[in-house]
Structure 1
Amino acid sequence: MVEITSKTKYMDLLNEYPLLKTDLVKKNPKFGFLVTPMGKISLWESDLSEVSERAEMTVEDTVNLFIELVNSY
């Protein structure tokens, strides 16, 4: 299991847990940008703090959401 913090790379999580891509959008439609071609390119090296900015969520809420989803797999 990957440790999930604000500095965890989004693509590391996605490679480990491919269902995150669709499950995040179900939890918060603002994560829809993650599945667009431009989102994939622009967030390739992004960590969760950068992803939280794009989703208009706090870093803490974003990290907790990722932890919740990963723990459900």
Structure 2
Amino acid sequence: MKITEATRLKDLLEEYPWLKDEIVKVNEKFEMLNSPLGKIMATKVDVHEMSKRSGMDLDLLISKLTDLIDSHQD
């Protein structure tokens, strides 16, 4: 799956269920995905919104997510 700013988090989590636990390695602010509010947010946000909410550069976020997924595929 190619990750763009419009990629929805729920689509990433459906494709890579393990990502919910591993995404904290990208940015510790994503730990909130394990909270009830985080579960609701995960269904609504895209990568661009994740970038804004975490304060992380969009291109860096996409790169880190891609690297994490690629490393898990091996």
TM-score (norm 1): 0.85
- Checking the alignment, whether the CA contact within 8 Å between 2:32 and 2:38 is kept in structure 1 is yes
Kindly tell me the number of residue pairs found equivalent between the two proteins: 72
Q: Distance in 2 between matches of 1:8 and 1:58?
A: 15
Structure 2, unpaired ranges of 5+: none
1:72 and 2:71 are equivalent in the alignment: yes
Tell me, which stretches of 5 or more residues in structure 1 are unaligned? none
Match of 1:30 in 2: 29
Where do 4+ consecutive residues of structure 1 move more than 2 Å? none
Q: RMSD of the alignment, in Å?
A: 1.3
Percent of pairs with identical residues: 39
Q: What TM-score do the two structures reach when normalised by structure 2? A: 0.84
